Structure 1
Amino acid sequence: MATNQTPAEYIDHHLGHWVLGEKGSFWSIHVDTMLFSVLLGAVFFAVFYAAARKATSGTPGNLQNFIETVVDFVDSNVKDSYHGSNKLIGPIALTIFVWVLLMNIVKLLPYDLLPWLASFVGVEYLRINPTSDLNATLGVALGVFLMIFWFGFKVKGVGGVGKEFLTSPFGATSPVMKVILVPVNLFFKTLEEIVKPFSLAMRLFGNMYAGSLIFTLIAISPWYMQWALGLGWSLFKLLVIVLQAFVFMALTIVYLSMAEEHH
């Protein structure tokens, strides 16, 4: 921690964002979130593209072994949870898992290093972990939300999806009761669909933001405690980082499978 900063100033500094526009405004942009999200997406693309170009049916290298392990892991989860026939589900699940994992794992980089380097070019605030920003997690979750409806419309059509909104979760055999339950079904079904992306976004954001906050508190603790606390928390956080990427991917697969099922 900088010696000229109070603990409150240090926490505010590390949990603040590099903002373009008026801070707190709806139209402001968190430049650091955008920058690291795109950068890590590019890293994901570059590594997998390089592995694909060098892939061999003979003895694979370390990179090919690693990529094949990740792909097999994602593929097994798709086979277990997805019951439709859309061939895009595998690439979608792989992209979400690896991208979210990369956006999570950068928080294990030396905590003060990149903000300190950014200060030399006039950047006062820099949060390098995109998933500790609700804007990023909501953005990814919104993409999943749109895919849920795209999958549903493709398989069941507008009429099929519309019928689900009017007849579920409460079905009825009587024509009169079907009409009476329409507004109730419409309300609960709409609420169910809206909750899906919010639950995805808030779960990921909450875990990552809490981790950032604890790292910040460790950084302002006495120097002789920082290494022990930091190492222990980093090892535990590594488990959480992988788990949260897996949960986001697994729920996405389940939601997309549900979107194609006829109820």
Structure 2
Amino acid sequence: MAADAELTPTSYIQHHLQNLTVSFGEGGFWTLHVDTLITALFMGGLMVLLFWLATRKATAGVPGKWQAFVEICLEFVDKQARDTYHGSSKLVTPIAITLFFWILLMNLMKMIPADFIARPLELLGVHYWKPVPTADVNATLGLSISVFFLTVFFALRAKGLGGMSKEFLFAPFGKWMVPFNLILNIVEWLSKPISLAMRLFGNMFGGEIVFLLIWVLGGASLLGVLGGGVLGLGWMLFHLLVIPLQAFIFMMLSIVYLSLAEDDH
């Protein structure tokens, strides 16, 4: 990264929105966003570790503070899943727990100023690192496509291949409108993962840009730094609501899609 004096506000923002990538194949046919992948895996491992710490010394008597907190969180997600999903699968609550807490932890990376991560990495020779995985459309699409395949699995489990095919061809307009039914159902099924991914990505990416804009517009003067700090604090407090809300919306919509996949139409 060039020295700060050589960076314009535009290039500063572009720099922090650039992923660290590794390309494979001729012409970079397959490109991995290394920062997104590593951060997502790290936050997933952190989630597992935090839950393990709560269960390591779990007791049926008076629970410790961390165990009590984890139990409250899990009971909240379990209640939401049970109220929304009316099928018989026991996988829904674990899916909901995984989606909510994993996305929540990835979203929380937004609370760390970008330079707090970028500066130490520059000393190690890493010049690009996008810290928020959910601000990368590849991560949100990966999550939503996983939910899409789960909906297909739930639909096949509940209706079988024949029942699902019949519904795909004959609903909602009947057997005389098969082409229209097919087009409508294809659009409906494909729009779900796309909208699910873009909603989460749009909110996280937009918030990241606003954070960077607040910082660069403050300028290098003391008054600008103080003003940028106040505005940044206000935006950060606002995002304390946005971060869990987006994880909750993603989780709830996923459960709704799983429930709808098993319903007869």
TM-score (norm 1): 0.94
1:185 — aligned with what? 181
1:168 — aligned with what? 171
Match of 1:99 among 92, 99, 102: 102
Question: CA contact under 8 A between 2:114 and 2:131: conserved in structure 1?
Answer: no
The answer as to 2:238 corresponding to 1:242 is no
Q: Among the aligned pairs, what percent are the same residue?
A: 48
Structure 2: gaps (5+ residues): 219-224
Letter in 1 for 2:190: I
Match of 2:262 among 257, 260, 263: 260
1:6 — aligned with what? 8
**Deviation of 1:26 (Å):** 4.7
Question: Take 1:112 and 1:46, find their aligned partners in 2: how far apart are those partners?
Answer: 27
Name the SS of the counterpart of 2:113 in structure 1.
coil
**Deviation of 1:140 (Å):** 0.4
1:202 — aligned with what? 198
Name the SS of the counterpart of 1:28 in structure 2.
strand
Letter in 2 for 1:260: E
Match of 2:208 among 204, 209, 212: 212
Letter in 2 for 1:72: E
Match of 2:23 among 21, 24, 35: 21
Question: Take 1:209 and 1:120, find their aligned partners in 2: how far apart are those partners?
Answer: 26
1:205-244 superposed Cα distances (whole Å, 9 cap, x missing partner):
0000000100110110221211111110001111111110
Name the SS of the counterpart of 1:85 in structure 2.
coil
**Deviation of 1:182 (Å):** 0.6
Q: Greater shift after overlay, 220-229 or 1-10?
A: 1-10
1:88-138 superposed Cα distances (whole Å, 9 cap, x missing partner):
100000000000111111110133111111101111110110000000000
Question: CA contact under 8 A between 2:23 and 2:29: conserved in structure 1?
Answer: no
1:232 — aligned with what? 234
**Deviation of 1:12 (Å):** 1.1
1:125 — aligned with what? 128
The answer as to 2:41 corresponding to 1:45 is no
Name the SS of the counterpart of 1:87 in structure 2.
coil
Name the SS of the counterpart of 2:114 in structure 1.
coil
Question: Take 1:2 and 1:70, find their aligned partners in 2: how far apart are those partners?
Answer: 43
TM-score (norm 2): 0.93
Q: Greater shift after overlay, 71-80 or 243-252?
A: 71-80
Name the SS of the counterpart of 1:21 in structure 2.
strand
Post-superposition, which runs of at least 4 consecutive aligned residues in structure 1 deviate over 3 A?
none
Structure 1: gaps (5+ residues): 172-177
How many aligned positions are there?
255
Question: CA contact under 8 A between 2:103 and 2:247: conserved in structure 1?
Answer: yes
